[in-house]
Amino acid sequence: MFTLLCLLLILCTNWIYPRSDAHSQQARDKQIFIWPIAGTSDITTLDPALNSDGYSSQAIQMVFTGLVQLNNKLEVEPQLAQSYAREPTTNGFIWTFRLRPHLTFSDGTALTAHDVIWSIDRALQPETGSNVAMLYLGLIKDAEKLDSGNVQTLIGDSLFAPDPMTVKIITTTGAPYFLSALTYPTSYVVNPRLIERYKETWTEHIPEGAGAGPFQVSSYTHTRDIHFIANPHYYGPHPQLHEVIMPFYPSSEALYQAYQNNQVSYATISTTDQARVSKADKMQLHRTPLLWTQYIAFNYLARPFDNIKIRQAFALALDKVQLTQNINKGTLMPTNHILPKGLPKYNSHALGPAGIQSLHGDQHKAQQLFNEGLKEEGLTRQTLPPLRLTSAYTTTRRKQNIEAIQQQWNSVLGIHVKLDHVNFASFQAAIPATRHNPHGLMMWENSWVANVADPMIGRPRSLAKTPTPITGTMGKTLPARL
């Protein structure tokens, strides 16, 4: 089993906002925002049911929407639903959502309660192939039976549309975080008619009216860009932007060059690039913490980490302030919390291991606990089993982080930890194989991401497949196009 978390670092992003002359009003057809994506040549999917990464989510949430959404305080509020209520029933809890009147997809066709439950059922259907549907929608009654093939559909079982304006969903528990789970794209409403017509190629026809979000796709050139235009049938206030263009850049360096050439509206930049940002651009640079935590996980069935004092010693041996300042140049924030500050239910009074509050750790306490733990286990530094930290890093900076952690453990505890770098596929397979397994991974580097605004369904995510921590985002008004 796992984990005790020892290295908790909150990622930061920096934004450079438009200069003061960028706020002048321009003609409607000039209101074009160029919203670049760095570090990938394309998004993975435009199918809400299959979404499992941040890049795809950005595009999906332009086009699709669901029953509820988050406001700027991370509070759940109605979206397609104008109201919702929960009440106990003999089978669990029933959630009733009343839809807003006159909802349509972006092609003008009516959006009804049946489309909502059809979309949720489709996301959970095994043939859809979603690897996240059970994570976000698994509370729905008999979702596991559908996933295992023991039932064919949840429509009429736990998903109901008693009339075109009413959605009823039965969950096995009354967990309040079910509403937060519905803010994730997996439950977003897709146009059944489009999918029934084009089957597996339906996402290539998204411009024909796939979603009900504020924008619709006007064109999508794979590996180059996606163009979005305002959805004229959107139920809410129409977007002020006439068009949004999402180009893909292979690296933050390439994106920063495009920013300097006035080709994009803003840019994410690396630490190296930040050092050569012009004085004028530095005036627009802003740093904002992300709801994202990096950590080291322990398998507490694997010796010697089956001893809590040894786990605490490894945690307290690390000076997280030094790690963030010396290597990451302020792009990470040290913390003793698994939940990042800003997330609902964040506890500002939570303590670190062994009740220690300092972000510098406590090297003396670490040595004391380590010696006590070794004695309890009948071990010495010489008889310790081989210690191994596994990771799947893809950047030099991440490699430097891990090596610095290794050095601190060596210096404080007088032990050697072998660094085991593996490919992403092996890493992803090894983590679930470690559950209940004393012979699985011993320690590994990972991250926790708040995909929705509730810690109950935040998602561990391999650092190998998350964007490299960025140190800056720059925004400007472009001549002619914006």
Q: Where in the chain is the domain with CATH 3.90.76.10?
A: 68-194
Mean pLDDT over 100-118 rounds to: 97
**pLDDT at residue 474 tops 50:** no
As a whole number of angstroms, the distance between CA 252 and CA 301 comes to 40
Residue that the structure tokens 């059809």 belong to: 118
How far apart are the C-alpha atoms of 191 and 405, rounded to whole Å? 49
| 446 in Cβ contact with 295 (< 8 Å) | yes
If pLDDT is split at 50, 70 and 90, which confidence band does 426 have? confident
**Residues 6 or more apart in contact with residue 229 via CB below 8 angstroms:** 215, 216, 218, 242, 243, 244
Q: β-pairing, 92-99 with 81-89? A: antiparallel
Query: Is the pLDDT confidence value at 239 over 70?
Result: yes
The 8-class DSSP code of residue 118 comes to H
Does 446 score more than 70 pLDDT?
Answer: yes
**Lowest mean pLDDT segment, chosen from 128-132, 153-157, 190-194:** 128-132
pLDDT for 447:
79
Per the model's pLDDT, the better-predicted residue between 122 and 478 turns out to be: 122
The pair of three-digit structure tokens given for residue 175, joined into one six-digit string:
């967990």
CATH class of 8-12+288-465: alpha beta
pLDDT of res. 284? 64
The alpha carbon of 408 is separated from its chain's Cα centroid by a whole number of angstroms, namely 30
> Given a cut of 70, is residue 139 above it in pLDDT?
yes
Contacts of 376 (CB under 8 A, 6+ apart): 307, 309
**With respect to CATH, is domain 68-194 assigned 3.90.1150.10?**
no
Report pLDDT digits (tens) over 329-348.
777 888 888 778 777 777 88
Instruction: Please state which of the ranges 200-209, 252-261, 429-438 shows the lowest mean pLDDT.
Output: 252-261
Which range, of 82-91, 236-245, 452-461, averages the lowest pLDDT? 452-461
pLDDT digits 0-9 by tens, 146-157? 999 999 999 999
Lowest average pLDDT, out of 61-65, 353-357, 410-414, 459-463, goes to: 459-463
| Cβ atoms 35, 265 nearer than 8 A | yes
Average pLDDT over residues 371-400: 91
Burial of 28: CB neighbours in 10 Å, binned 0-12, 13-18, 19+: exposed
The more confident residue out of 85 and 25 is 85
DSSP-based three-state secondary structure for 19: coil
Sorting pLDDT into bands at 50, 70 and 90, what band is 270? low
Residue 392: pLDDT band with limits 50, 70, 90: confident
pLDDT > 90 fraction of the chain, expressed in percent and rounded:
56
Q: How confident is the model at residue 50 (pLDDT cuts 50, 70, 90)?
A: very high
Binned at pLDDT 50, 70 and 90, residue 5 comes out as very low
Q: Please list, residue by residue across 225-250, b when 16 or more beta carbons sit within 10 angstroms of its beta carbon and e when fewer do.
A: bbbbbbbebbbeeebebbbbbbbbbe
The CATH 3.10.105.10 portion of the chain extends over 8-12+288-465
At 471, the pLDDT band (50, 70, 90 cuts) reads: very low
Q: According to the model, what pLDDT value does residue 285 have?
A: 67
Query: What is the band of 65 on the pLDDT scale with cuts at 50, 70, 90?
Result: very high
Side-chain-side CA neighbours of residue 279 (13 Å): 0
Instruction: Note the pLDDT tens digit of each residue in 12-42.
Output: 554 444 443 444 455 656 789 999 988 788 9
